[in-house]
C-alpha cells in the first residue's frame, strides 16, 4: 500500500516538475536565444584585433547600390521568435528596400544548423542573388553555403560567422579597439577627466574581456588625455553575482577615492550596479551590459548607478549585412581584405574589409551602441 502511495507521489512530482519546466517553454518564445546571441557576439568580437588595419591594396571606391534593383537578397537569421534577430532583419530589410532590391527574410523554426541548412537549400533553388546568414554553427553550414557559392550566390555572414571557407566576408558587430575606445571615453567622461577607476571583469582567462581590457590600457597609455586617470585595479568577479558583489564591495572599501568602475561583462555590470545603487555610492559605473538587465540602474541622477553603458545595436548589424550583400552582388567588393564600400546613412561609411584573423575577412560595424536614459526604455524589452 505504502509503496503504491509513494509511486503515485513520485509520478505526480515528476509530472509537476515536467509541467513547470515546459509550461513557460510553450509560451510564445518572446526573447528566445538572446543570451546565446550575446555570447556569440562576444566570440565573434574576440578575434578582431586588427580592426583598424588600413587597406594596403587600396580598393574600389564605387558606391554600392544601383545594381541592386530587381535582385533578390536573402537573410537567414538564427531562429524565429527572437526579438534580437527580428531587429537585425528589420535593419536588413530597410536597406534592401531602399536600394530597390527584393528582400527575403528566413527565420528557421529552431536555432539549429539543420534548420538553417534547409532554408539555405530552398534559397538556392529559388535562385536568389545573395544569402546573408547569422550562423548557428561555425562549420555545419559549410556544405550548403559552398553549394550556394558554386551556384553564383554571394554568401556573407552577420552577427555570428561561419568558418572562412563558407563565407565571402562577415559583418562583425564590434571590434576590440572600438569597444576599448568607447569604454575608455566613457570612463574619462564619467570621471570628469581625472581620478581613480577600476575594472570589474569576468574570469581572468576570459578571452574577450582580456582583449578589451588590453585595448583600454593601450589606449590609456597612448594618449596624454588620459594621463590623469589612474587604473587602480582589475578585479575578477568570475561572472558570478556573489563573487562580483564581494569584489565590488572590496573595491569600494579599498579605494575611498574611486570614481568609476568599468565592467565589460553583462553579469559583472549588473551585480556592481546593484551594489552601488543600494549603497547610494558616489562611484559610477559603465561597461557592457544587456539593456533588459540594466534598465533599473541606468539614469543620470544620483539615484541610479550607471549613467550609460554599451552593447551592439542589432538593427545596425542587419543594415551593414544588407550593404555587404548589395556590394557583393553588384561587384563593388569580392570579400577580399582592403576593399571598401559605402553604406548610405551609416555612421562609419565608408567601410573597409579587414582580415578577420581566422583566414577570412570581416567588416567591423563600428563603435558599440550606447544605452543611456533616453533610449533604455525602448531597448529593455528588446534584449
Partner 1 sequence: MEKKSVWKKITSSRETSLVIVLLVLVALISIKNPSFLGMQNILEILKNNSVIMIMALGMLCVLLIGGIDISITSSLAFAGMTVGMLFKNGVIHSTLLGFVIAMAIGAVCGLVTGLIIAKGNVTPIIATMGFMYIYRGFAYLVANSQWAGADALGDFKNFALESYLGLGFLNNVLFIVLICYIVFFVILKWTKFGRNIYAVGSNAEAAQISGINVARVKLSVYTMMGFLAGLCGALAVTIYASAQPNMQQGKEMDVIAACVIGGVSMNGGRGSVGGALLGALILSVIAKALPLVGIDALAQNTVKGFIIIVVIVLNVVTQRMMDKSNLERREM
Contacts with partner 1 by CB under 8 A lie at: 3, 6, 9-10, 13-14, 16-17, 20-22, 24-25, 27, 29-36, 204, 233-236, 241-243, 245-247, 249-251, 253-254, 267, 270-271, 273-274, 278, 290, 292-297, 380
Shorter beta-carbon distance to partner 1: residue 52 or 278 = 278
Q: Could you count the other beta carbons within 10 Å of the beta carbon of residue 354?
A: 23
DSSP letter assigned to residue 55 = P
| Least Cβ distance, residue 142 to partner 1 (angstroms) | 26
Please, are residues 159 and 148 in contact by the beta-carbon 8 Å criterion? Answer: no
Nearer Cβ to partner 1 (25/222): 25
Cβ nearer to partner 1, comparing 196 with 330: 196
* Residue 324 CB, nearest approach to partner 1 (Å): 27
> Per residue in 311-335, is it b (16+ CB within 10 Å) or e — as a string?
bbbbbbbbbbbbbbbbbbbbebbeb
Beta-strand relationship, 369-371 and 284-287 = unpaired
| Shortest Å distance, C-beta 36 to partner 1 | 6
SS3 of residue 40 by DSSP: helix
Name which of 264 and 335 has its Cβ closer to partner 1: 264
Q: Are 108 and 116 in contact (CB under 8 A)?
A: yes
Minimum separation from the CB atom of position 245 to partner 1 (A) = 5
Nearer to partner 1, 270 or 367 (CB): 270
In DSSP terms, which residues pair with 355 in a beta bridge? Answer: 361
- Least Cβ distance, residue 183 to partner 1 (angstroms): 19
* Shortest CB 188 distance to partner 1, Å: 24
| CB proximity list for 328: less than 8 A, separation 6 or greater | 130, 154, 156, 168, 169, 334, 335
Within 10 Å of residue 5's Cβ, how many Cβ atoms? 9
Nearer to partner 1, 267 or 322 (CB): 267
Amino acid at each position: 500500500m505504502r509503496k503504491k502511495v509513494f509511486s503515485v507521489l513520485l509520478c505526480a512530482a515528476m509530472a509537476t516538475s515536467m509541467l513547470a519546466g515546459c509550461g513557460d517553454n510553450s509560451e510564445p518564445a518572446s526573447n528566445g536565444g538572446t543570451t546565446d546571441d550575446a555570447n556569440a557576439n562576444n566570440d565573434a568580437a574576440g578575434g578582431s584585433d586588427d580592426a583598424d588595419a588600413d587597406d594596403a591594396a587600396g580598393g574600389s571606391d564605387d558606391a554600392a547600390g544601383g545594381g541592386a534593383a530587381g535582385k533578390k537578397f536573402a537573410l537567414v537569421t538564427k531562429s524565429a521568435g527572437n526579438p534580437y534577430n527580428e531587429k537585425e532583419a528589420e535593419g536588413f530589410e530597410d536597406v534592401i528596400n531602399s536600394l530597390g532590391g527584393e528582400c527575403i527574410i528566413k527565420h528557421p523554426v529552431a536555432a539549429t544548423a539543420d534548420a538553417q541548412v534547409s532554408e539555405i537549400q530552398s534559397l538556392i533553388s529559388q535562385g536568389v542573388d545573395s544569402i546573408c546568414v547569422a550562423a548557428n554553427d561555425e562549420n555545419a553550414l559549410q556544405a550548403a553555403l559552398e553549394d550556394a557559392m558554386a551556384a553564383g550566390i554571394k554568401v556573407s555572414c552577420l552577427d555570428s560567422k561561419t568558418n572562412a571557407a563558407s563565407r565571402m566576408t562577415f559583418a562583425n558587430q564590434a571590434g576590440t579597439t572600438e569597444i576599448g575606445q568607447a569604454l575608455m571615453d566613457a570612463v574619462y567622461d564619467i570621471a570628469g577627466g581625472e581620478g581613480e577607476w577600476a575594472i570589474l571583469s569576468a574570469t581572468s582567462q576570459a578571452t574577450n574581456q582580456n582583449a578589451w581590457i588590453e585595448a583600454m590600457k593601450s589606449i590609456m597609455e597612448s594618449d596624454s588625455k588620459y594621463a590623469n586617470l589612474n587604473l587602480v585595479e582589475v578585479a575578477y568577479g568570475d561572472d558570478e553575482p556573489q563573487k562580483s558583489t564581494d569584489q565590488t564591495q572590496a573595491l569600494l572599501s579599498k579605494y575611498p577615492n574611486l570614481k568609476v568602475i568599468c565592467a565589460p561583462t553583462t553579469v559583472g555590470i549588473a551585480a556592481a550596479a546593484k551594489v552601488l545603487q543600494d549603497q547610494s555610492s558616489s562611484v559610477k559605473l559603465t561597461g557592457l551590459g544587456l539593456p533588459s538587465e540594466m534598465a533599473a540602474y541606468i539614469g543620470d541622477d544620483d539615484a541610479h548607478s550607471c549613467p550609460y553603458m554599451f552593447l551592439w545595436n542589432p538593427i545596425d548589424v542587419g543594415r551593414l549585412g544588407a550593404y555587404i550583400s548589395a556590394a557583393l552582388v553588384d561587384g563593388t567588393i569580392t570579400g577580399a581584405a582592403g576593399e571598401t564600400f559605402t553604406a548610405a546613412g551609416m555612421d562609419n561609411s565608408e567601410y573597409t574589409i579587414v582580415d578577420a584573423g581566422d583566414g577570412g575577412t570581416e567588416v567591423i560595424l563600428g563603435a558599440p551602441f550606447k544605452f543611456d536614459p533616453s533610449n533604455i526604455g525602448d531597448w529593455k524589452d528588446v534584449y
